[in-house]
Amino acid sequence: MKKLGILVVGLLLLFLTACGGGEEKSSGEGKVTELTVWNDWTENRPEYKVYKDIIAQFNEENKDSIHVKIESIPHDQYETKLRTQAAGKQLPDMFRVWPGARIQPLVEGKVLLPLNEILDTWEGKIPEGILKDYAVDGKQYAIPANISETSLIYYHKDAVKKAGFEDFPKTYDELKDLIKALNDQKVTPIALGNKSIWPLQSVYISTIADRFTGSEFLPNTLSGKGSFTDENFVKALSVIEDLAKLKAFNEDFNTIDEAQSRTIFNSGKAAMHFAGSWAIGPILEGVENIDNIGVAPFPSFGGEGDTAKISGAAGGGIALNAELSGKKKEAALKFLEYFYDDELYQGLAKSNIVVPVQVEMDDSIPEIYKTANGFAQGGLAPVYDATLTPELTDMINNGLQSITIGEKTPKQLAEEMQKENEKGKK
């Protein structure tokens, strides 16, 4: 019995020391400064390879002084994990962040390190308007690697032609005619996967609402100078109701996710797919005949907004932990300067990612990428979930889903949102 006791105590000690040991190592001052970077580069996408290759190259060039370790977390869990770790003050040295409202809480929690001291590096290279997506109160917290346009219409040229349209509809009324014509031919008009409830908001409403209300509406409303019950905003929400009533979507749109809906589009079962620039790669890879795929901006809805605009935001930024100091901070800043450089942007452009800097394009670059890249020139409208508070985002996401199945009217949702908006002000 005594022996057993000693054994147990021994094991216990071993367990406790093993637990305690892990923490020490990472902060130890070795010769090589190790930095951990968190990201969501888990899928097998060409742009992720570009990111990883550049990091590998950086490690190779600085192998005596700095080593950057990559830790990838699946996209859907990434932000939850980041926020949870941030709440526990256990963030890694560097981590991928999203712009606008999504870095706001991190900034307020003072867990991010401002990058203003190295900002000169990108002066004149990345337009001010795009850089500011990652800035809060004049302080820059990350450098954008790409622009994510959230509202593009991909379509099968032959299907649209068969429905009687030589060119893709330019107005909403024409689009509705196209949807009706496609339905008559028993082709699913639009492939949508809204189980994860963000597509109708991020892809659809961001641009549709902008067409109705203009880009000033959203920031104004959030700061209390406007209201979500604005007639134009309600009209924008009604578009979703219209589309659902027209049976514009595949029947199972509330039970499949965004990637699944892309498969429906790629297979040709649906004529259109509304998605962001992130879909370019998967579509190019998934369809048989690329030449048959067209990309168009959202039509005009006859509202007050600028029809050349498309909703979009900067992306791909990596932020630094506010607790970095001394050697580690130096190494991290050096890494950022190395990372966000021509090689990255060129690599990304080759992977069909819309980038914030001018890059040369040769003929090998597919048409739909060039077209999509061109849309960004018309100016970017705010993306709803990059601008709204998390509560409002959750509300509009769920509300739009309710609208599609007739459980809520656009007006009700607008009123609810305004109530929440006013509550947040107090």
Partner 1 sequence: MQLTGKSKAALIIGLLPAFLIYTVFAIYPIIQSFYYSFMEWDGFSEMEFIGLQNFENLFQDSLFWNSVGNNIFVVIASVFGQIPIALFIALLLNRKIKGLKIFRTIGFLPVVLSTVVISLTWSLIYNTKDGMINEILRAVGLDFLAQNWLGDTKWSMVAVCITVIWQFVGLYLIIFLAALQNIPEEVKEAAKIDGASEWMTTWKITIPMIWDTIIVAIILCISGSLRTFDLIYVMTHGGPSHSTDVMALYMFNETFSNLKYGYGSAISVFIFFFSLLLIGFVKKILGQKFI
Binding site for partner 1 (CB under 8 A): 1-2, 4-5, 8-9, 11-12, 15, 80, 83-84, 86-87, 105-106, 108-111, 195-197, 250-256, 390-391, 394, 398, 401-402, 404-405, 407-408
Residue 259: phi, psi to the nearest 5? -65, -35
115: region left, alpha or beta (phi > 0 left; psi from -120 to 50 alpha): alpha
Q: Which of 235/408 has CB closer to partner 1?
A: 408
Q: Which of 251/360 has CB closer to partner 1?
A: 251
User: Least CB distance from residue 404 to partner 1, whole Å?
Assistant: 8
Pairing relationship of beta strands 293-296 and 152-156 according to DSSP bridges: antiparallel
User: Least CB distance from residue 43 to partner 1, whole Å?
Assistant: 17
User: Least CB distance from residue 186 to partner 1, whole Å?
Assistant: 12
Q: Which of 286/390 has CB closer to partner 1?
A: 390
Q: Which of 89/161 has CB closer to partner 1?
A: 89
What is the distance, to the nearest Å, from the Cα of residue 206 to the centroid of all Cα atoms in its chain?
12
Q: Which of 123/251 has CB closer to partner 1?
A: 251
DSSP 3-state percent helix, strand, coil across the chain (nearest 5): 55, 15, 35
CB 291 within 8 A of CB 67: no
User: Least CB distance from residue 105 to partner 1, whole Å?
Assistant: 5
The three-state secondary structure class of 143 is: coil
Q: Which of 15/223 has CB closer to partner 1?
A: 15
Q: Considering only CA atoms, which of 126, 165, 175, 120 is closest in space to residue 146?
A: 126
Q: Locate the DSSP E strands across 93-141.
A: 94-97, 135-136, 139-140
Q: Which of 83/162 has CB closer to partner 1?
A: 83
How far, in Å, CA of 359 to CA of 362, rounded?
A: 10
User: Least CB distance from residue 159 to partner 1, whole Å?
Assistant: 18
Q: Which of 173/407 has CB closer to partner 1?
A: 407
User: Least CB distance from residue 188 to partner 1, whole Å?
Assistant: 9
User: Least CB distance from residue 196 to partner 1, whole Å?
Assistant: 6
How far, in Å, CA of 163 to CA of 141, rounded?
A: 48
Q: Which of 22/405 has CB closer to partner 1?
A: 405
Pairing relationship of beta strands 152-156 and 270-275 according to DSSP bridges: antiparallel
Q: Which of 46/390 has CB closer to partner 1?
A: 390
Sequence-distant (≥ 6) Cβ neighbours of residue 139 within 8 angstroms: 107, 114, 116
Q: Considering only CA atoms, which of 280, 348, 282 is closest in space to residue 315?
A: 348
How many other C-beta atoms lie within 10 A of the C-beta of residue 136?
Answer: 17
User: Least CB distance from residue 336 to partner 1, whole Å?
Assistant: 23
What residues does 71 pair with on adjacent strands? 38
How far, in Å, CA of 399 to CA of 391, rounded?
A: 12
User: Least CB distance from residue 4 to partner 1, whole Å?
Assistant: 6
User: Least CB distance from residue 415 to partner 1, whole Å?
Assistant: 15
DSSP string for residues in 372-424: HHHHGGG-EEPPHHHHS-HHHHHHHHHHHHHHHTTSS-HHHHHHHHHHHHHHH
